[in-house]
Amino acid sequence: MKKIITYGTFDTLHYGHILLLQRARALGDHLTVALSSDAFNRIKGKASHFDYTQRRAMLEAIRHVDVIIPEDNWEQKRKDVTAYGIHIVIMGDDWTGKFDFLSDLCEVIYLPRTPSISSTAIKLIHSTPAQ
């Protein structure tokens, strides 16, 4: 069984996230999503629209996702790869090079992001007052 893992906040879940998860799962037999905890998002300086429980519930509804684990710190990635028997780490290409430190343990693949969509753009649209 080929196991895949990806990491992220997955706030304001959108089509680009679905495509990333679909493409990641297509590369293996099992997809684990390490979902940033609320505490870790605070450390990263991120404010999520939805809390961890809500974001987890949304991811659980996606058929491409097999398991969801909390991401609590930057350092846990090497432990996750080993503990969960991961073969491939998948990330969006805006992270290119930042996960290469795992390449001695598994394959690291950076997938292209979906053009013209991002959580940041969605948050900006919804925070702008209607005219």
Structure tokens at 114: 């979906």
In the three-class reduction of DSSP (H, G, I as helix; E, B as strand; rest coil), residue 10 is classed as coil
In the three-class reduction of DSSP (H, G, I as helix; E, B as strand; rest coil), residue 6 is classed as strand
Determine which one of 46, 77, 79, 123 is catalytic. 46
Name the phi and psi angles at 90, rounded to 5: -115, 130
Q: Which long-range contacts (CB under 8 A, 24 or more apart) does 16-19 make?
A: 16/113, 16/114, 16/117, 16/118, 18/62, 18/64, 19/114
The answer to whether residue 44 is catalytic is: yes
Q: How far apart are CA 82 and CA 25, in angstroms?
A: 19
Determine which one of 2, 3, 44, 79 is catalytic. 44
The answer to whether residue 46 is catalytic is: yes
Tokens 């343990």 correspond to 105
Which residues have a catalytic role annotated? 44, 46
